[in-house]
Amino acid sequence: MTKHPRKIIIDTDPGQDDAVAILLALASPEDIDVLGVVAVAGNVPLPLTQRNARIVCELAGKPETRVFAGSDAPLQRPLVTAEYVHGKTGLDGPQLADPVMPLQDQHGVDFIIETLRREPAHSVTLCPLGPLTNIARAMQQAPDIIPRIQQIVLMGGAYFEVGNVTPAAEFNIYVDPQAADIVFKSGVSIVVMPLDVTHKVLTNRQRIEAFRALGTEPGRMVAEWTDFFERFDMQKYGSEGAPLHDPCVIAYLIDPSLFQGRHVNVEIETQSELTMGMTVADWWGVTNRPANALFIKDVDADRFFALLTDRIGRL
Ligand code: RIB
Ligand code: CA
């Protein structure tokens, strides 16, 4: 039986790790058909995330990729950004020229709705790599699309690993907890790549040099982005290298056997400021709340980096 590439929409706030995830997706046409890339405000404001998304598509040699601007602020809360991690541009590290490829005129949320209505039901996977604002807005504006979504594979949340932006919450969920609550209660099949697993795919000298040794512009860029990106996590966690959070989403689509997790109930804290945005995962099944997510906890990091380096090497 011929394997058809999986149709996806990437929703993203580039961000160096988002950029690597987008490169991985665009380097894998036999596995993934990127119907569009929708930018959301997150790591940096929307004018920069939509610019950065286009820069990355051009770096991948895919300027025909359709890139849209989505939401410029969370549903209810003021925008919180992360320039302290990603730098002022969101893609600090190498010097980058402005993109030439156009930004689509259509609003990204309308693109998500239109695509899900047009494509056959259960044929499109949504891959959020930033705050869930666009996904939640699409669900609010067009509830009819919810049962048409094949799956949501997202980077966000944390349980055993606890938060990275507050003691309780991971950044993507923390920025828009109301949006996350809508998505996790939607009934759509969800796969979660939380910090519990992304903190197990850490860059190190050898892994970064493997990107540089590709001898290609994308390989050099990935090496320079991860060089820049890792300084924050090494300082904060004393860890060796930076966690490549967002590429876990795309790697899962290409080879789910890289990952292990558990179907559990996950609910989002939206009331208490102390724990706002916490993903409360019932890992030990102590409640009778129904399982609504595959919560990933483990990964074969060496195989993950081998896949990533091989695919980036194609560009
Ligand atoms: O907490 C990590 C997540 O927040 C990643 O998606 C990173 O790009 C930022 O969006
Ligand atoms: Ca991101």
**Catalytic (active-site) positions:** 245
Hunting for tokens 């699309």 — which residue is that?
145
pLDDT in tens, 25-45: 999 999 999 999 999 999 999
Distance (angstroms) between ligand 2 centre and the Cα of 258 equals: 20
Query: Can you give the pLDDT at residue 230?
Result: 81
Hunting for tokens 């998505």 — which residue is that?
183
Sign of CA pseudo-dihedral 119, 123, 128, 134: positive
Q: Considering every ligand atom shown, identify the ligand nearest to the alpha carbon of residue 158 and give its number.
A: 1
**Regarding the domain delimited by 6-312, which CATH topology (the fold level of the hierarchy) does it fall under?**
Inosine-uridine Nucleoside N-ribohydrolase; Chain A (3.90.245)
For residue 11 and ligand 1, the question of a CB distance below 6 A is answered with: no
What is the Cα–Cα distance from 8 to 151, expressed in whole angstroms? 9
For residue 164 and ligand 1, the question of a CB distance below 6 A is answered with: yes
Q: Where exactly are the structural domains of the chain?
A: 6-312
CA 110-115-121 angle, 5° bins? 130
Distance (angstroms) between ligand 2 centre and the Cα of 129 equals: 4
| DSSP type of residue 146 | G
Contact 315, 309 (CB under 8 A): no
Looking from the CA of residue 243, the nearest atom of ligand 1 is: 2
Query: Can you give the pLDDT at residue 280?
Result: 98
Hunting for tokens 């549903």 — which residue is that?
75
For residue 245 and ligand 1, the question of a CB distance below 6 A is answered with: yes
For residue 229 and ligand 1, the question of a CB distance below 6 A is answered with: no
Hunting for tokens 């945005």 — which residue is that?
277
DSSP E strands in 16-164: the ranges are: 32-39, 67-69, 124-128, 149-155
Looking from the CA of residue 171, the nearest atom of ligand 1 is: 1
Candidates 154, 175, 201, 132; CA nearest to 43 is 175
Q: What is the mean pLDDT of each run of 10 residues along the chain (315 residues)?
A: 89 98 98 98 98 98 98 98 91 92 98 98 98 99 98 98 96 98 98 98 95 98 91 77 96 98 98 98 97 98 98 98
pLDDT in tens, 145-177: 999 999 999 999 999 999 999 999 999 999 999
For residue 198 and ligand 1, the question of a CB distance below 6 A is answered with: no
Query: Can you give the pLDDT at residue 234?
Result: 79
Distance (angstroms) between ligand 2 centre and the Cα of 2 equals: 32
Query: Can you give the pLDDT at residue 1?
Result: 64
What is the Cα–Cα distance from 138 to 114, expressed in whole angstroms? 10
How far from 43 is each of 136, 206, 255, 297, CA to CA, in Å? 18, 27, 27, 24
Fill in the amino acid letter for 261: G
Contacts of 162 (CB under 8 A, 6+ apart): 168, 195
What is the Cα–Cα distance from 19 to 23, expressed in whole angstroms? 6
193 half-sphere exposure, CB direction, 13 A CA radius: 28
Give the residue, out of 11, 16, 18, 228, with the most ligand 1 atoms within 8 A of its beta carbon, to mutate for a pocket test.
Answer: 18
Quick check: pTM over 0.95? yes
148-181 in b/e burial notation, b at 16+ Cβ within 10 A?
bbbbbbbbbbbbebebbbbebbbbbbbbbbbbbb
Q: Considering every ligand atom shown, identify the ligand nearest to the alpha carbon of residue 245 and give its number.
A: 1
